């Protein structure tokens, strides 16, 4: 009898130890397991569910692009909630095996998020998990714009341009967030034209009649210096027919090519040959604007409020292709403009009607180098030099 009482007391002590172990937790939040089962036939205890979270409870400065994840071991998740300030639930997905829940939408800046999860362990008992974490609060949120805009059709030299409201320090992070997809293979690269502008251009002109999809997934991207991207931007546009304008300034002719074949030749007058600053500068440009009428002012050369028709701007340096019927005596014979390409009115209208934003304009034969202060100078770099403008 003494021996039997000793065994019975030992069994009671072992059972108490099992219950105490089942109530312990190693999770990052608050877990509340309710107990453990025996197999009913003297076997070992079944495992207690254990819920873990990433980011962990009480984490600070959590990146907003990192998904929140709840996992359970030795059980299955039965309820998973992640709520932002104010109680709005974050969307998420539970894996088919019930072991993992993952948020499926970006988190917000400067917010506190609260977990509320439940699981049932292999012991058949419920376990709860609660905890909170806080996301990063940027010193500055920077917006970006993307050009060309949605649904535009542009010429074969049109660059893709991303411009930021303020300078970017972390260029490599930005480039990782940018993607360009086309329905034909195109070799291209991103190049930084300034601290606040990065452009994409192909090695050669775009193939005609293709579609281009651009994604700039900048929300949550660390731009450096405490600044983060404010929002994603996207665009989908088309490349039109291949039309190229070529002007060799000594020839006094502006030639237009479609698909590689010359379709037009217009007599023209270009920048004054005898004064280099008035030359039409060499280089490859793009048609930037199409204006039925434009007003020209240049105090240096003594003219203001000069109105001209059918004006197509091709450089931020101030050069246009436009009508100048007043200069008809020199068109096709002498170069005497202040840098623009002068056409007769009928020819200017004919060209204007054919022109498209993004068409290349190639100028040769001048003594003036390309003006590199412009923010549209992509084609005035060799391909090797352009590649060198990417993030290091």
Cα(366)–Cα(361) distance, rounded to whole angstroms?
14
Residue with tokens 């060209």: 351
Cα(156)–Cα(204) distance, rounded to whole angstroms?
9
Cα(312)–Cα(298) distance, rounded to whole angstroms?
18
Count the Cβ atoms, other than its own, within 10 Å of residue 180. 16
CB 135 within 8 A of CB 350: no
Q: Of these residues, 80, 312, 317, 322, which one is catalytic? A: 322
Residues 3-21 as b or e (16 or more Cβ within 10 Å = b): eeeeeeeeeeeeeeeeeee
For residue 70 the two structure tokens come to 């709840």
Question: Does 317 participate in catalysis according to the annotation?
Answer: no
Provide the Cα torsion 300, 303, 309, 311; round to 10°. 10
Question: Does 340 participate in catalysis according to the annotation?
Answer: yes
- DSSP 8-state code for residue 340: S
**Of 317, 295, 296, which Cα lies nearest the Cα of 369?**
317
Positions annotated as catalytic residues are 322, 340
């Amino acid at each position: 009898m003494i021996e039997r009482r000793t065994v019975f007391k030992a069994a009671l002590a072992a059972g108490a130890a099992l219950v105490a172990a089942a109530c312990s937790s190693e999770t990052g939040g608050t877990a509340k397991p309710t107990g453990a089962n025996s197999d009913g036939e003297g076997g070992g205890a079944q495992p207690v569910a254990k819920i873990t979270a990433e980011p962990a409870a009480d984490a600070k400065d959590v990146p907003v692009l990192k998904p929140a994840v709840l996992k359970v071991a030795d059980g299955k998740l039965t309820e998973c909630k992640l709520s932002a300030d104010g109680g709005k639930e974050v969307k998420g997905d539970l894996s088919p095996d019930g072991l993992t829940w993952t948020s499926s939408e970006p988190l917000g800046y400067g917010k506190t998020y609260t977990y509320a999860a439940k699981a049932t362990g292999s012991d058949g008992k419920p376990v709860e998990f609660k905890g909170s974490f806080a996301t990063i609060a940027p010193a500055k949120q920077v917006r970006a714009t993307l050009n060309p805009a949605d649904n535009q059709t542009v010429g074969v030299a049109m660059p893709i341009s991303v411009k930021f409201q303020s300078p970017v320090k972390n260029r490599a992070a930005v480039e990782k967030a940018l993607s360009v997809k086309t329905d034909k293979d195109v070799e291209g690269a991103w190049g930084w034209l300034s601290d606040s502008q990065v452009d994409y251009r192909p090695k050669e002109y775009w193939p005609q009649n293709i579609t281009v999809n651009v994604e700039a997934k900048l929300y949550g991207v660390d731009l450096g210096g405490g600044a983060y991207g404010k929002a994603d931007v996207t665009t989908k546009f088309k490349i039109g027919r291949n039309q190229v304008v070529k002007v060799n300034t000594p020839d006094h002719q502006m030639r237009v090519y479609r698909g590689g074949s010359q379709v037009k030749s217009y007599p023209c007058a270009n920048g004054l040959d005898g004064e280099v600053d008035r030359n039409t500068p060499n280089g490859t440009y793009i048609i930037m604007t199409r204006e039925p009428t434009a007003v020209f002012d240049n105090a240096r050369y003594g003219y203001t409020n000069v109105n001209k028709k059918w004006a197509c701007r091709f450089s931020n340096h101030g050069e246009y292709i436009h009508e100048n019927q007043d200069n008809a005596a020199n068109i096709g014979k002498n170069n005497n403009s202040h840098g623009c390409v002068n056409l007769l009115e009928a020819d200017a209208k004919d060209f204007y009607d054919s022109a498209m934003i993004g068409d290349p304009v190639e100028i040769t034969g001048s003594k003036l180098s390309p003006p590199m202060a412009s923010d549209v100078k992509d084609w005035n770099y060799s391909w090797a030099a352009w590649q060198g403008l990417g993030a290091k």
